Structure 1
Amino acid sequence: MRDRVRERVPVVVQTGGRRRTGARVLWVGAETVVTCGILVLLLVVHQLWWTNQQARAEAREQVSVLEREWAISPPGGEESPSAETVETVETEETELSGQEGLVSGSEGGGGVASTRPARPSGSDLPRQPAASRAFAVLRIPRLGLTAPVARGVSKRSVLDKGYVGHYPGTAGPGLPGNFALAGHRNTHGEPFRYINRLRAGDEISVRTRERTYTYRVDQVLPQTAPRDVGVIRPVPRSVVKPSYGYSTAGAYLTLTTCTPEFSSAYRLVVWAKLVSTA
């Protein structure tokens, strides 16, 4: 009997390996979560901070370039665009997603879906510069805003540079009709972030090589659909909310951007009327 007891070999169940494997899996999972969190944080910093720094710097430089050119070259050179002479701008996107027209804006750029005008006929029309080149400077004293205005509402070549975009086919500054503009509300310079603060009576100026046009804010449409094209027509009136807008011809300025902030679900519209030319 004693010999049999001595011959028995004890069986030891080892559990340490499984514990180590489980701990290793948890560690790898934690590292993955932390890494993903850092990448998301870097993306947010890039979108909300770095794109603004880049776009604002480029916009300030463009304003300086324009004002130096205007100081050197007197009025009478290249004319600002009008509804009749503006060239068709081939936008990369019919609808912007800002970042912003009633074309939508990247996380808050903003525009309205617009139709392109027919290319004007005749060979005596002035040659227009590239769509991304600014031709005017927009100033809104109440917001402390100074921004260059360029032709077109393309994200890549206009709005993402911190510029304010001029809708193709709408009137030029100071002319009868509707001088319609779009800008990002968040990211990429976000020039139109605070246009919701504008109130009736606030002044907006648009300077070109020839002269400065002063508009006075008249109406604010807090929210409308992205494809409410009525707000940028020559006599602007919302087709979604007809109680907002006008019924008689005039010289109007329209500002469009996305709303609410960090969303492109709707559009915010500000209308102003021309009050003086200097």
Structure 2
Amino acid sequence: MRPVRKRIPVVVQGRRTRRPLVARALWTGAELAVTLGAVLLLLVVHQLWWTNRQARDEAGAQVARLERQWATRPTAPPRSPVPAPDPSPGDDGAGRAAPPTGTRTGTPAPPPNDLAYAILRIPRIGLTAPIAQGVGKAAVLNKGYVGHYPGTAQPGGAGNAALAGHRNTHGEPFRRLDRLRPGDRVTIDTADARYTYTVRRTLPQTTPGDGTVLAAVPRSSVHPAYGFAEPGSYLTLTTCTPQFTSTYRLVVWAVLRSTQFR
């Protein structure tokens, strides 16, 4: 019997088509897009939620620490509140305001840089935040604090006490600053006194270089119709505008109405 020969099948591989390559490229691109989207989403969550939570917790804890420190200080003999004269009669539309008399004589020494030493309260927008010396981002503003511009007057003093705060992220203490209206009350508590200011006017938008809004007699050099013309005790609040940008600055001015010594 003759043996049966078995043939080994020959497999001929055809050309690879371009479709699988295109499909793999599209799939890889889709994976990269999803990954990038997830990373961007995490960044947004970090900026808009996590930084706010961290900063608000830190700012709230700092307010509590200051209040405890002041409560444990030796009490001084009580002093009657000293009202400052209403600047309205001295305002002729150009922002003239007579200097208040309810302040202590002399110029208080500025506190050390980055140290929280006062508490800002604005009932209209539900704000309670610590004030620290300086306007550095890492050391002050990103903690949810309000920063005091070096070189400007201290709260309650003659001249212009100027403050800055974030409008978005990192606690965003000045998020609703644009809601303030003339007549709104602003108070600043320190270890020695409570200073009560009244909002007088708002500059909705100016350039970051409009530095005269921080002058002892504040006035906008970009929008000359906004500001004051005579010495007094002023409070200037500044933040970025529009929201989520740093293109321009929003400015709110207030004048000292009364001082309550502790």
TM bucket normalised to smaller: 0.7 to 0.9
Once the two structures are superposed, what CA deviation does each residue of 1:94-146 show, in whole Å capped at 9, x if it has no partner? xxxxxxxxxxxxxxxxxxxxxxxxxxxxxxxxxx43x2220000000010100
> Structure 1 residues 161, 215: closer, same or farther in 2, change over 3 A?
same
Match of 1:20 in 2: 20
The partner residue of 1:239 within 218, 221, 228 is: 221
Aligned to 1:49: 49
CA distance in 1, matches of 2:163, 2:75: 24
Normalising to structure 1: TM-score of the pair? Answer: 0.76
Alignment match, 1:85: 109
Cα 1:231–1:151, aligned 2, differ >3 Å: closer, same or farther?
Answer: same
Q: CA deviation at 1:26?
A: 1.0
Q: CA deviation at 1:73?
A: 1.2
Which is greater in Rg? 2
Shift in CA distance, 244/51, structure 1 to aligned 2, threshold 3 Å? same
Matches within 5 A, 1:6-155: 14=14, 16-74=16-74, 85-86=109-110, 128-129=111-112, 131-155=113-137
Q: Percentage identity across aligned positions? A: 60
- 2: CA distance, partners of 1:255 / 1:276: 18
SS at match of 2:21: helix
- How big is each residue's C-alpha offset from its partner over 1:131-186, in whole Å with a ceiling of 9 and x where there is no partner? 22200000000101000000000001000000000000100111110010000000
How has the CA–CA distance of structure 1 residues 258 and 83 changed in structure 2, closer, same or farther, with 3 Å as cutoff?
Answer: farther
CA distance in 2, matches of 1:209, 1:260: 35
For 2:154 and 2:227, locate their aligned partners in 1 and report how far apart those are by CA, in whole Å.
19
Which residues of structure 1 form unaligned runs of 5+? 1-11, 87-127
State the alpha-carbon separation in 1 of the partners of residues 247 and 25 from structure 2: 42
Instruction: Sort the Cα spacing of 1:74 and 1:242 in 2 relative to 1 into closer, same or farther, 3 A.
Output: farther
Q: What pairs with 1:118-197 in structure 2 (closer than 5 Å)?
A: 128-129=111-112, 131-197=113-179
SS for the counterpart of 1:34 is helix
Query: Aligned Cα RMSD in Å?
Result: 1.9
Following the alignment from structure 1 to structure 2, what is the Cα–Cα distance between the partners of residues 270 and 13? 78
Shift of the alpha carbon at 1:17?
4.3
Q: Structure 1: which amino acid aligns with 2:147?
A: G
Given that residues 75 and 209 in structure 1 are in contact (C-alpha distance below 8 angstroms), is that contact kept between their aligned partners in structure 2? Answer: no
Match of 1:203 in 2: 185
| Residue in structure 2 matched with residue 258 of structure 1 by the alignment | 240
**Whole-Å Cα distance in 2 between the matches of residues 59 and 273 of structure 1?**
25
TM-score, normalised to structure 2's length?
0.81
Gaps of 5+ in 2: 1-11, 77-103
Tell me if the contact between 1:83 and 1:169 (Cα under 8 Å) persists in the aligned partners: no
Cα drift, residue 14 of structure 1: 3.4
Residues in 2 aligned to 1:270 and 1:172: alpha-carbon distance in whole angstroms:
17
DSSP 3-state at the match of 2:208: coil
Tell me the SS of whatever aligns to 1:218: strand
Between the aligned partners of 2:65 and 2:119, the Cα distance in structure 1 is: 11
8 A Cα contact 1:83 1:170, kept in partner: no
- In structure 2, give the amino acid aligned to 1:160: N
CA distance in 1, matches of 2:48, 2:164: 19
Q: Within 1, Cα distance between the matches of 2:107 and 2:17? A: 77
